[in-house]
Amino acid sequence: MRAVIQRVSKSSVNIDGKVVADIGLGLNILLGVGPDDNEEKARQLAYKAAHLRIFSDSEGKMNLSVIDVQGQAIVVSQFTLYANTQKGHRPSFVGAAGPEIASPLCDRFVEFLRKEGVPCQTGVFGEHMQVEISNDGPVTILLEI
């Protein structure tokens, strides 16, 4: 399971011109699921994301989590995180889990993140989305479990 986590001042997801998710301060999480991923990996990754200290404290040091700053998260399923570009110029996505595995694990990840105390909104699995990200810093972290 892979996640690209961005600290944001605001983020939103649009589908066909309609806003389906919109947050201010918090995290934009692009989530990729591999074929060997499971519920335990989703739980571990959600815990890590919720407690990742990437927000600044009063001294300007990255010492606070999204929970500490009372932020929110947008989680967007992103199978392209498993792209293989070793051969040629067209990425292969055979390393990504199929929707029968990925969709429920994305949902479980969101549930686990909420249980940690992070209010979450989501994109729509399998839909073409426009994701707007105001990356604050910029701060971008790659997590893999």
What digits encode the pLDDT tens for the residues 39-76? Answer: 999 999 999 999 999 999 999 999 999 999 999 999 99
* All structural domains of the chain: 2-144 (3.50.80.10)
d(CA 121, CA 114): 10
Q: Is 85 a catalytic residue?
A: no
Q: What is the amino acid identity at position 51?
A: H
Annotated catalytic residue within 6, 72, 78, 121: 78
d(CA 56, CA 65): 9
Looking up tokens 């500490």 gives 68
* pLDDT of the residue at 20: 97
**DSSP helix/strand/coil, 123:** coil
pLDDT band at 7 (very low <50, low <70, confident <90, very high): very high
Annotated catalytic residue within 70, 80, 93, 130: 80
Which residues face 43 on adjacent strands?
none
Retrieve residue 125's tokens.
Answer: 């699995």
Percent over 90 (pLDDT), the chain? 99
The vertex-76 CA angle with 70 and 77, nearest 5°, equals: 140
Q: Is 70 a catalytic residue?
A: no
What is the average pLDDT score of the chain?
97
Annotated catalytic residue within 6, 55, 79, 109: 79
Please give the DSSP secondary-structure letter assigned to residue 47.
Answer: H
Q: Is 78 a catalytic residue?
A: yes
pLDDT band at 133 (very low <50, low <70, confident <90, very high): very high
